[in-house]
Chains A and B, each alone.
Chain A
Amino acid sequence: QLHLQESGPGLVKTSETLSLTCTVSGGFISGGGYYWAWIRQPPGKGLEWVGCFWYGGNTYYTPSLRSRVTISVDASKNQYSLRMTSVTAADTSIYYCARRRPGGARGGFDIWGQGTMVTVSS
């Protein structure tokens, strides 16, 4: 059974860089044509899709974050990562990694990590 686990520092200083990793187990990032995404949720608020990649294809970002966000993959470790620069308090959120099925194969984010809370503070 596929499992996703986020890891990274829980506290980041204002203006610095946030780095998170999602480790995938029970399956391979490189197989199946899935999208691998980052989604965030400020405390007590709704969900915001940050970006994703399709292995062997493109990487996509939400426009409001595109200038500060990079998603990369290390297939040899079955991991992918989120890097967000110049963070502010507004980036304080629970960050989830999640798998999205291809739209023609049902679609939707069917597998989620448990999430990791990142607080941005000076």
Chain B
Amino acid sequence: DIVMTQSPDSLVVSLGERATINCRSSQSVIYSSDKKNYLGWYQQKPGQPPKLLIYWASTRESGVPDRFSASGSGTDFTLTISSLQPEDAAVYYCQQYTTTPWTFGQGTKVEIK
């Protein structure tokens, strides 16, 4: 199985400040046939299902604000929220969909200071 490890487990950020979440995979998530990183980022708020923010490691899903950006390739990835808004308080997960079992990181809780 590909193990996804996020850091930190939680962070507290002031409104308008930057939040950065890291995700590392135990092996590369580059899909051999198209060379794309099969990695997604999700946001989950209490009582709601996760919402897909990013696919292919760095492409924003339609409708996702541009303060959300992501980067990385191979085994190391980052999600950045450039200017934290109150509605961004949530748990964020990375997930690889290169190889079954598709696995998630343990989650990073973002709180507003």
Contacts and interface: CB of A to CB of B under 8 A. Distances in A.
Interface of A: 37, 46-49, 52, 60-63, 96, 98, 100-101, 103-104, 106-110, 112-115
Contacts, number: 68
B49 interface: yes
B93 interface: yes
User: Main SS of chain B's interface residues?
Assistant: loop
Interface stretch (B12-20, B71-79, B80-88, B97-105): B97-105
Contacts of A115: 49
Contacts of B36: 103-104
Interface of B: 1, 31, 33-34, 36, 38, 40, 42, 48-52, 54-56, 59, 61, 93, 95, 97-98, 100-107
Nearest to A111: B52
B49 to A, nearest CB: 4
10 contacts: A37-B102, A46-B106, A47-B95, A48-B104, A52-B102, A103-B34, A104-B33, A107-B40, A109-B40, A114-B48
